[in-house]
A and B are shown apart, each in its own frame.
Chain A
Amino acid sequence: MDYIPNTERDKEIMLKEMGISSFESLLEDIPKSLRNFSLTLQNGLSEPEVLKLLQDLSKKNTHTNNCISFLGAGAYEHYIPTIVDHLASRSEFYTCYTPYQPEVSQGTLQVIYEFQTLMCELTGMDVANASMYDGSTALTEAALLSIRLKEKNKVVCSRAIHPEYRQVLRTYLKGFGTEIVEIDSPEGITDVNQLEKAADNKTAAVLIQNPNFFGCIEDMEAISNITHKYDALFVACVNPISLGILKPPGEYNADIAVGEGQVLGNYLNYGGPYLGFFTVKKELLRKMPGRIAGETVDTMGRRCFVLTLQAREQHIRRQKATSNICTNQALLALRACIYLCALGKKGIAELGNLNLQKSHYACEKLSALDIFEPAFKKPFFNEFVLKARSNRRINKINEYLLTKGIIGGLDISAFYPELNNSLLLCVTETKTRESIDRLVAELDKMR
């Protein structure tokens, strides 16, 4: 199956019209030495054969629909309303190009505009862009923006930020010789005293995740104040679902708020594609990376939308652009848009509350077992760290749970060696009381 409509007969007609005897004559510029290779691909398959093959591969995976999973750590299982798949599967949305021709792209442009508005509402920030690759690259671009704007080359970053996000930050910043100072979080949240000592006038940005990797809620206001004493930008990396109940970055004077939007109606997808979002105070608007949709009028004076402020972007500015990014995650932003519209003003608050109630119920029940205790005593949202008493090995616990159809939490000792025998568990609204009780009962049997 090759999706090529033209036949050998069409080819002959076309070559004849061009006055060419053979197709090969069109390839005269390619050296003969390059034409001699053989592809080690198999023969093409028919549709039922391909479907069978992929079905078999997909069935080799154990997934969150045929077991109970308590994994979070940057990728979250939330219920996705049926209308999200239905509407986002319209091919007018998924088979169109970047909206460079606004007259025939109002659908995509309006979605981006609505997405920007929704992200501003959730975060309390002034301006949002059309989206970034994922949370980790959004955070990194926020650091780059700060370094560029402040013309300073030091970034202070909490060690309670997702370890993979920090790895991405290091990868990107290597070329700039940026000093990255990491602040510990011995009690589950960033050590504000240590941060106060580390921040100085050379600091371009302070980066904090909230809730942080351990699920704990940071003292964002205090850190924001410290940051601004040194003319640095305060960058908040937030979980948008938590903003249904938690104080948004706009309320604690963040300069940039970014995060991972996978939680907004997007599947786990084994880690991607995900949806980075990027919001700023209006003063930073023209420094922002990525695409932005704006409102204007057409020749008849009707409201319409276009990609705007493109003078920041690589196709105009080339090496002087604010970023090299030239795409966004439009389709995932569309899903986020539909999702947030489906939830509405009441739904997003209810969702936040459900996550809070269920995770606290689970934490309380699990801590009552004598094999665990909470690692930290700080307020948390929908994730928490449990420490096994008496050096019980986390991988043994998880292996046992797997035999019962339960994917336990994440063993975080790999990321934080000092937190050995510790498990990061996530409980969202998708976990019923029954499934939480089952986890508790199974662990109770392990005593």
Chain B
Amino acid sequence: MNPTEPLIFERSSPGRRCFTFPVCDVLEKPITSFLPQGLLRKQEAKLPEVSEVDVVRHFTRISQMNFCVDTNFYPLGSCTMKYNPKINEDTARMEGFTKLHPYQPVEQCQGILKLLYDFEQMLKSISGMSAFTLQPAAGAHGELTGMLIIRAYMQKKGETRHKIIVPDSAHGTNPASAALCGYEVESIKTNAEGLVDIKKLKESFTRDTAALMITNPNTLGLFEKDIVEICKIAHDAGGLVYCDGANMNALLGIARPGDMGVDILHLNLHKTFSTPHGGGGPGAGPIGVTEKLKPFLPVPRIEVLATESTEIAEKKIGEANSRSSRHPHNSVSSVNSVADLFHLNYDYPDSIGRVRAFYGHIGMMIRAYTYLLSLGKEGVCKVGEYAVLNANYLRHKLKKYYDIPYGKACMHEFVISARKQKEKGVSALDIAKKLLDYGFHAPTIYFPLIVEEAMMIEPTETESRETLDALANAMIQIATDIEQHPGIVHDSPQTTPIGRPDEVKAAREPKLRWEIGSRVG
């Protein structure tokens, strides 16, 4: 079978049709009777002209050129590529959710609002935070929202602080998000144990520092054992602590950022809470805050109006109507039962505002909510335990063959260094590519930046002992091969749909769209 599939444009043939619309059932008039010629498109958009079978085969074939969680193990550090339960897909696709318009009156949306409200309560319990917003579209968007909250909080206190401290092991989004809010970013070096250097932090965290952005467990997979003191240092200097929750999978049922003293936390639903990565999105990055930061959360907030008697409920709805007349879809008329009534509250004068249109990635909330209902209390606790167990088991199996620069044990992931192998002329990249030939997705490589030839491995709790053994065996085989014949690792991958691409060419001569006669290969 030819491993490549032409572009859909190259399958185009004049006059060929796939989908057709119903015939226009109102009296059709010339377009120019509605719109002057000058507003119309001169040249039609050259979309492909293809049949239904063309479209189906095209997308089916190209899908088969992907590795995915359903076909391969992805030990991709910091990405938590756990299994994505199928039931979540079914619930998110129920038409009572997919065909709901965001501006329908809230009385018509009580099912989804209850779901979102209950989901927030679950996240609060798991994280120890006091309140959540579900608006941010992704982890980085959550970081941005968090930074905006920090700024609003400081302004309210009458302080202008200019600096955010970020450890050098942090994800690149951390400094980028802080900079996007106009903050200066100060990087602090990781100490010999792979942790935040408390002494340095104390020196750096001045009255001009708005917050520390920390990841716990950090990107080396190590728990910041001084986290309570770290938070205290920030608080004593009048600052705040933002926690990047990318690594929350390690902590499920084991510890809670809210208890550590963290002020703001984002969660990645596409990591910890099993929603699929979708080839790069959509994800979702809800953030949780402490009580004092609640007034600054984005609006609208999902709230419950009434649990008491019908009479009180009616009264409260009346009040809510007069308060929220600023917004169209809150035209609550009456309530039929004494049940809770959920609504969208815009009445937070200190709120940072909106960070996106509407309310967030609702489809991802439904999936994550389904997941938490399935897991329940016991299941949630098992996630953290088995994620940590699996990582330590793999770490133990690999430690004789690869350099592990930090720590005696790890949380849900660990970082090895291929510097020994590099001496033989084989890089982390080569090892990663060789793993593809063994049928495993590569680990995250060259991150964190503080480890030379880094390979970051996160197995997640959804892999079995046998799968972990198979990955370990492949990595051990590669390490052994490098000792004996380093050359054989260079030419990988060989079994994938394509060989290594020329990335330099792609960047130097950017070809970013198809045009007739533009084919280079």
Distance, CA A170 to CA B260, complexed state (A): 33
* A274 CA to B361 CA, complexed, in Å: 8
Q: Are B29 and A294 in contact (CB under 8 A)?
A: no
Q: Are A301 and B521 in contact (CB under 8 A)?
A: yes
In the complex, which residues of chain B have a beta carbon less than 8 angstroms from the beta carbon of A209?
A: none
Chain A residue nearest in CB terms to B281 = A327
Q: Mark A275-306, 1 if CB is under 8 A from B, else 0.
A: 00000000001000001111111111111111
Partner of B55 from the list A53, A116, A341, A429 (CB cut-off 8 Å) is A341
Given the interface pairs A97-B280, A130-B280, the reply to whether A168 lies near B100 with Cβ below 8 Å is no
With beta carbons under 8 angstroms apart, the residue of B87, B141, B279 that contacts A108 is: B279
CB <8 Å contact, A175 and B148:
yes
Most B CB contacts (10 A, CB to CB) among A27, A291, A301, A411 go to A27
Question: Given A246-B40, A268-B100, A303-B519, are A128 and B513 also a contact pair (CB < 8 Å)?
Answer: yes
Residue in B20, B46, B172 whose Cβ sees the most chain A Cβ within 10 Å: B172
- The smallest beta-carbon distance between A331 and chain B, in angstroms, is 3
A148 to chain B, nearest CB (A): 11
* 8 Å CB interface, B302-345 against A: 325-329, 331, 333
Considering only residues 138-189 of chain B, those with a C-beta below 8 Å from chain A are 138-141, 143-144, 148, 151, 171-173, 175-183, 185
Q: Using A4-B461, A130-B280 as known contacts, say yes or no to A104 and B513 having CB atoms under 8 A apart.
A: no
Quick check: is A202 within 8 A (CB to CB) of the other chain?
Answer: no
- With a cutoff of 8 Å between Cβ atoms, the chain A residues found around residue B199 in the complex are none
B128 touches A37 (CB 8 A): yes
What A residues does B278 contact at CB under 8 A? 93-94, 96, 329-332
Residue of A nearest to B437 (CB): A103
Q: Does B83 contact A (CB under 8 A)?
A: yes
- Cβ of A13 within 8 Å of any chain B Cβ, yes or no, is yes
Q: Are the CB atoms of B17 and A347 closer together than 8 Å?
A: yes
Interface residues on chain B, size class:
35 or more
Check B506–A295 contact: CB distance below 8 A: yes
Q: Are A127 and B512 in contact (CB under 8 A)?
A: yes
In the complex, whether B192 has a CB less than 8 A from a CB of chain A is: no
The distance in angstroms between the C-alpha atoms of A423 and B360, with both chains bound, is 25
Question: Bound complex: CA of A298 vs CA of B328, how far in Å?
Answer: 54
Distance between B492 CB and nearest chain A CB, rounded to angstroms: 9
CB distance from A252 to the nearest CB of B (A): 10
Does any Cβ of A come within 8 Å of B109's Cβ?
yes
- B241 close to A (CB within 8 Å): no
Given A4-B461, A243-B41, verify A44-B379 contact (CB < 8 Å).
yes
Contact in complex: A345, B357 (CB < 8 Å): no
Residues of B within 8 A of A45 (CB): 373-374, 376
CA of A77 to CA of B95 in the docked complex: distance in angstroms?
Answer: 13
The verdict on B1 contacting chain A, using a C-beta distance below 8 Å, is: no
Instruction: Find out whether the CB atom of B8 lies under 8 angstroms from the CB atom of A10.
Output: no
Does chain A have a CB within 8 A of B450? no
CB distance from B44 to the nearest CB of A (A): 6
Q: How distant is A190 from chain B, measured CB to nearest CB, in Å? A: 15
Q: Which of A192-200, A226-234, A315-323, A367-375 contacts the other chain?
A: A315-323
Q: Once the chains bind, are A1 and B375 in contact (CB under 8 Å)?
A: yes
Nearest residue, chain B, Cβ from A5: B464
Q: Which residue of B lies closest to A304 (CB)?
A: B498
When A and B form their complex, what is the total count of cross-chain residue pairs whose Cβ atoms lie within 8 Å? 694
Q: A40, B125: Cβ atoms under 8 Å?
A: yes
A18-B392, A91-B70, A92-B63 are contacts. A268–B99 as well, Cβ < 8 Å?
Answer: yes
Of the candidate stretches B110-118, B416-424, B476-484, the one touching chain A is: B110-118
B172 touching A296, Cβ below 8 Å: no
Q: Is the CB of B8 within 8 A of A341?
A: yes
A87 to B175, Cβ gap below 8 A? Answer: no
Tell whether A37 pairs with B256 under 8 Å between CB atoms, given A30-B225, A117-B513, A411-B328: yes
Q: Provide the bound-state CA to CA distance between A56 and B373, in Å.
A: 14
Query: Is A441 an interface position by the 8 A CB rule?
Result: no
A96 to chain B, nearest CB (A): 4
A71-B101, A103-B498 known; A347+B20 contact, CB < 8 A = yes
A369 to B222, CA, bound (A): 70
- Cβ of B425 under 8 Å from chain A: no
Closest to B461 in A: A4
Interface residues of A in 49-70 (CB under 8 A from B): 50-51, 53-65, 69
Chain B nearest CB, measured from A179 CB (Å):
15
A13-B465, A165-B357 as given contacts; A39 in contact with B280, CB under 8 Å: no
CA distance A323 to B24 in the complex (A): 44
User: Is there contact, CB below 8 Å, between B44 and A345?
Assistant: yes
A346 at interface by CB-CB < 8 Å: yes
| A35 touching B254, Cβ below 8 Å | yes
Select from chain A the residue with minimum beta-carbon distance to B84: A95
Residues of B contacting A44 with CB < 8 Å?
373-379
Find out whether the CB atom of A57 lies under 8 angstroms from the CB atom of B111.
yes
Cβ of B383 under 8 Å from chain A: yes
Q: A6-B464, A326-B172 are in contact. Are A294 and B510 (CB under 8 A)?
A: yes
Distance (whole angstroms) from the CB of A80 to the closest CB of chain B: 9
B49 at the interface (CB under 8 A from A): yes
Confirm or deny: A267 has a beta carbon within 8 angstroms of a beta carbon on chain B.
yes
Q: How far is the CA of A410 from the CA of B104 in the complex (A)?
A: 9
Interface residues of A in 323-354 (CB under 8 A from B): 323-332, 334, 337-338, 340-351, 353-354
B41 to chain A, nearest CB (A): 5
Q: Are A4 and B386 in contact (CB-based, < 8 A)? A: yes
16 contacts between A and B (CB under 8 A): A3-B85, A44-B373, A44-B376, A45-B376, A58-B111, A71-B104, A91-B68, A93-B278, A97-B279, A107-B62, A110-B65, A144-B180, A172-B144, A175-B180, A247-B41, A338-B55
The 10 closest A-B pairs by CB, nearest first: A271-B358, A44-B376, A303-B521, A58-B96, A60-B111, A271-B102, A331-B278, A273-B282, A175-B182, A299-B499
Q: Identify 17 new A-B residue pairs, CB closer than 8 A, beyond the known A309-B507, A347-B20.
A: A6-B389, A55-B94, A69-B101, A83-B19, A93-B278, A110-B7, A135-B357, A137-B137, A137-B141, A167-B353, A174-B352, A269-B97, A270-B97, A274-B358, A296-B502, A327-B138, A358-B24
